[in-house]
Amino acid sequence: LILFATPWDFSAPETPHVLLDPTSQTLFRQWIGQSNPVPPAVTQALFYLIDPWRVHAKYQNFPNLNAAERTHFLAVEQWVNDGVPLTQQVAEECFVDWPQGNILATHQWKVGRRWIEPQSITIPTLAVIPQRDLIVPTGCALPLAQQLPRCDVLSPDCGHVGMVVGRRAKTEVWEPVVKWIEGKF
């Protein structure tokens, strides 16, 4: 099992929060219930709400980039914005239940009829937890890795998106992941 920036404990102090009061949670659930599937724009909007000024600054700096940097920037933005629609249940769990109720860390998450208990997952596991992840910071992801009995942790010097498509993703993430797989199998 390989986990990439997998959120777990939303009570960690550095975890970004878009907190909704109970009435807003109900309205959000109803709104999600009107879309099937839930479009990727919803995910993007929630990421935007985490830190709208950061998004603004990212685009404001675009004119200062050289040609190669612009090409890379546009490729990354295309990848980031090419999201996948989510089923209603997945969207509700990821956007409401996980962050608002912290159901993962408090052992209240069920998939089908099965409660998810990390300590019962005994297969070799690698948790990739980027050091500069502002979406799923270390304090949010590390508690899961600590509960998995056979979990190794890789902490690349990159952010949430950078671990997949950053300039150093190949050397910081992909090559070490391949090496870990080869060492386990």
Q: Please state the pTM of the whole predicted model.
A: 0.88
Query: Distance of alpha carbon 21 from its chain centroid, rounded?
Result: 23
Q: Which residues, including other chains, have CB under 8 Å from residue 160's CB and lie 6 or more apart?
A: 5, 130, 133, 134, 135, 136
Q: Report the chain (185 residues): mean pLDDT per 10 consecutive residues.
A: 97 85 90 90 85 87 94 89 91 93 94 94 98 95 98 97 92 98 94
Residue 155 CB contacts under 8 Å (≥ 6 apart), including other chains: 129, 130, 131, 138
Q: For 79-92, what is each residue's pLDDT tens digit? A: 888 889 999 999 99
Cβ(90)–Cβ(111) below 8 Å = no
